[in-house]
Amino acid sequence: MVPACASQEPTVMPTIALVDDDRNILTSVSIALEAEGYRVQTYADGASALDGLKSSPPDLAVFDIKMPRMDGMELLRRLRQSSELPVIFLTSKDEEIDELFGLKMGADDFIRKPFSQRLLVERVKAVLRRAQPRENGQAKAESAQVLERGKLVMDPERHACTWDAKNVTLTVTEFLILESLALRPGVVKSRNALMDAAYDDQVYVDDRTIDSHIKRLRKKFRAVDDSFDMIETLYGVGYRFKEAA
Separation in Å, CA 23 to CA 44, 45, 153: 7, 11, 44
**Measured between alpha carbons, how far apart are the two ends of the chain, in Å?**
65
145 pLDDT more than 90 = no
Which is more confident, 128 or 200? Answer: 128
Name residue 164's amino acid: D
Contact 230, 242 (CB under 8 A): yes
Q: What average pLDDT does this structure show over 2-8? A: 48
Which is more confident, 225 or 199? Answer: 225
Domain 140-241 has CATH 1.10.10.10: yes
Q: What is the pLDDT of residues 147-167, one digit of tens each?
A: 999 999 998 877 789 999 998
Confidence of residue 96 (pLDDT cuts 50, 70, 90): low
The Cα–Cα gap between 186 and 188 comes to 6
Which is more confident, 4 or 158? Answer: 158
What is the pLDDT, as a whole number, of residue 104? 65
Least confident of 75-84, 130-139, 159-168: 130-139
3.40.50.10490, 2.60.40.10, 3.40.50.2300, 3.90.950.20: which CATH number matches 13-131? 3.40.50.2300
* Per-domain residue ranges of the chain: 13-131, 140-241
